[in-house]
Structure 1
Amino acid sequence: MTHDAKRCASLESLQAGLAALDRAQTPAHGLHRLVQLGLDQLPLPGSGATLQRWQALCLVAQHDLSLAKLFEGHTDALAVMAEAGPTATPVPGATWGMWAAESPDGRTVVEPVGADGLRVNGAKCWCSGAGHVSHGLLTAWYADGSGPVLVRLPMDQPGVAVSAAGWQAVGMAASASIDVAFDDAMGERVGGEGAYLERPGFWQGGGGIAACWQGGAMALAGALLRAVSSAPATPSPFRLAALGHVGTALQSSAALLRETARWIDDHPTQDASARALSVRLAVESSARLVLDEVGRALGATPFCRDAAFAQMAADLPVYLRQSHAERDFAALGEKLASPGASPWAL
């Protein structure tokens, strides 16, 4: 058994842990509970069990997309620090935010202090869970413009202030992707300059987000499946047709997720950018079809009378916008047009 197989929570244990969560509690509380139970210990990307990692993310997403957002960020931070090597020692019981968005309004700036210490100033946007996690792992830049460099820091220090003033979300509201301001906060460098973007795990981790989208779409599709399966009479042919559309889309995106995970495990040090872009765009397309078909088939009732369905239907379109839409299609097209590419071989 590999080291990663030993350290991983089973999908059955994760499912039981999710079922035991109190839905009246916040997703932040759910993340803390999953960490307490050791259910955040997923296989590392490219370790031979990437599919199991994505299945875990998909499972959390089926339960709650805001929780999945926090859980994916936390487990991504753990993977990034593991990839950085022994210098990034674990912090037992910590909950992590992984924040790499860059704002056009300014950057987070760091100044070296000692061997690996960094003094942090400036601001960071789109920091999911920042008001509740114990630690943050974020991209920052040196004053001369070089970087990015990864810095990790505890959130409970005087130089860290969070603000939800700009967070007006309805969908994904509970993920609380708020702003953080740093004023001489103290952190620790993780890895070398530019390592965050250059490491194989950067694009390998991108598929994990697609697994979350797949989970959200599966949860909505489940409502249509239950409606068709429990119909007292012969199901409406229109609902059956919608279920056929939904099933075809989800089976296709699931197959590509499995294929991509297998490719990553077979090529753990290679550039996975084209694979990750393909699977993300395919899952986004599948999820958008599910949103449309399920809504058309079931009408307004579940949106108005099923709290879990309504929340998932509000959350999923917002989460999908973590995709960069046409920019990602253009980036993928550029890779597919490169000499020697054979993207559609069977």
Structure 2
Amino acid sequence: MLAAPTPEEAAAALAGRLAAQAALTDQEGGFPTEEFQWLGAAGLLTAPLSQALGGAGLLAPPQTLSMLRTLKHLGRGNLAVGRVYEGHLNALQLTQRFGQPAQVQRWAADARQGRLFGVWNTEAQDGVHLEPLPEGRFRLRGSKTFGSGAGHLTRPLITGALPDGGWQMFILPADEQLPTLDASFWKPLGMRATASFRVDLTGAEIGPQDLLGPPGAYYQQPWFSGGAIRFAAVQLGAAEAVFDETRRFLRDLGRLDDPYQKMRLGEMAMLVESGNLWLRGAADHATRPAAEADVAATIAYANLMRTAIEEICLRTLQLAERCVGARGLLRPEPFERLHRDLTHYLRQPAPDAAVADAGRFVLAHPTPAHSLWNA
């Protein structure tokens, strides 16, 4: 009997199918609903669960490289799918890390039933507040912005302020406590199909069984900043898609013998492969025995990796545009959508601070360059 595909193999097998359908959901308010059914059928929605919980153990440290490659393949197929899946994976990681045993079992059962998780942390001035009620319950007040998957996530992990200023995670059963969605908020350059609306939670109520971890757990390091390696892997997948489509476009036009196109494709190949080496380096660094104790080094390496992937993606886009010209940026060619989606997704928070953090680390550690990251 053949062994079941690994999550990495399942994601790689789905990438082409995701790409073929990506244009259909590329509209404001769109969402890749059918695509997530495919992910569920392939076992990818439960893959982040431990094997004891019925998953594939994709979050176990020895599987970090496979996890990153799984995210990369989904980003290669459809960046919106990759982004939402990364949030699903992140939420299940946090539930397993900080949840009480009964909570972990309940949320794992939700994932096995096909419920989609995600993380809603970003907010504006009207952020979420938890107002105490009797018996350890809370009434919610306020909104989250960039609530990716709004209207489709039934188990979003949300953060909010306690009366004493603590920052508390909770899982909202959004199929029972329906938030108010403001789709007019989401008028983006790209990533239209992530349905990242403003989500008003005012009036919803949660109980102690919905609270996840102690106040402040969401920002615990190195996991918070170190998680940047996950979204960078999704971004690299989109760069690979740009490379593949550029080569296909030139082949269709019969431009393979042009020396300048050869030069551009050579540079693009170098960029993409360097990104894959960064994935391997990030996985090796994140899984070393001292990763959790050596917080500063783990964060600094993750910041280097996300910065390198950003530069790889930006340069890949620039080279692809020169290769395909104005003709290639006309629909139904995929470049216009890929460019919009990747450009938008690359705008992750605090890119300059990420580089500065890595600089502070290396300035504070006089270790020779050849062994700086080997501790």
Q: Deviations over 1:166-215 (max 9, x none)?
A: 21113111112111111231231111111111154323422010001100
The answer to whether 1:274 aligns with 2:300 is yes
Per-residue deviation at 1:278?
A: 0.6
Please tell me whether the aligned partners of residues 31 and 70 of structure 1 are also in contact (alpha carbons under 8 angstroms).
no
What are structure 2's unaligned runs of at least 5 residues? 26-30, 49-56
**How much has 1:221 moved relative to structure 2?**
0.9
Q: Which stretch shows the higher mean deviation, 178-187 or 25-34? A: 25-34
| CA drift at 1:244 | 1.7
Q: Which residue of 2 aligns with 1:311?
A: 337
Output the CA distance in 1 between the equivalents of 2:134 and 2:359: 44
TM score, norm. by length of structure 2: 0.82
Does structure 1 retain, via aligned residues, the 8 Å contact 2:145–2:198?
yes
Q: 1:194 aligns with which of 208, 216, 222?
A: 216
Matched, 1:97 2:123: no
Matched residue, 2:185: 166
The answer to whether residue 157 in structure 2 is matched with residue 131 in structure 1 is no
Residue of structure 2 in register with 1:284 after alignment:
310
Question: In 2, are the aligned partners of 1:281 and 1:323 still within 8 Å (CA)?
Answer: no
Cα 1:32–1:161, aligned 2, differ >3 Å: closer, same or farther? farther
Distance (Å, rounded) in 2 between the aligned partners of 1:306 and 1:208: 30
Q: Which deviations, in whole Å up to 9, do the C-alpha atoms of 1:260-290 show, x marking residues without a partner? A: 1011112352422111111000000000000
| Higher mean displacement: 223-232 or 236-245 | 223-232
Alignment match of 1:320 (pick from 329, 343, 346): 346
Q: Are the equivalent residues in 2 in contact too, given 1:61–1:213 (CA < 8 A)?
A: yes
SS at match of 1:97: strand
In the alignment, what sits opposite 1:39? 44
CA positional deviation for 1:82: 1.2
- Return the alpha-carbon distance in structure 2 between the equivalents of residues 158 and 257 of structure 1: 39
* Separation of aligned partners in 2, 1:237 and 1:141: 58
CA pair 32-157 structure 1, distance change in 2 beyond 3 A: same
Contact 1:159 1:184 in 2 (8 A): no
Contact 1:217 1:291 (C-alpha < 8 Å) held by counterparts: yes
* Structure 1 residues 77-128: Cα deviation after superposition (integer angstroms, max 9, x where no partner): 111111114233322321012112242x132111355776443221111111
Return the offset for 1:323: 4.6
**1:108 alignment counterpart:** 128
- Per-residue CA deviations over 1:108-158 (Å, capped at 9, x if unaligned) read 11135577644322111111111211121011110232x211111111345
TM-score of the aligned structures, taking structure 1 as reference length? 0.88
Identity %, equivalent residues: 27
* Structure 1 range deviating more: 14-23 or 41-50: 14-23
Q: Which of residues 262, 274, 278 in structure 2 aligns to 1:240? A: 262
Q: CA deviation at 1:225?
A: 2.6
3-state SS of 1:130 partner: coil
Structure 1 distance, partners of 2:89, 2:43, is 11
Q: Aligned pair in 2 of structure 1 residues 32, 203: CA closer, same or farther (>3 Å)? A: farther
User: In structure 1, the residue corresponding to 2:61 is in which secondary structure?
Assistant: coil
Query: Does residue 337 in structure 1 map to residue 337 in structure 2?
Result: no
- Structure with more strand by fraction: 1
SS of 1:169 mapped into structure 2: coil
State the Cα RMSD in Å: 2.6
Please tell me whether the aligned partners of residues 45 and 204 of structure 1 are also in contact (alpha carbons under 8 angstroms).
Answer: no
Distance change in 2, residues 1:336/1:236 (3 Å) = same
- Deviation digits for residues 207-260 of structure 1 (CA, Å, limit 9, x no counterpart): 010001100111001122334556647521111111122122222221111011
What SS does the aligned partner of 2:43 have?
A: coil
Q: Is 2:228 aligned against 1:212?
A: no
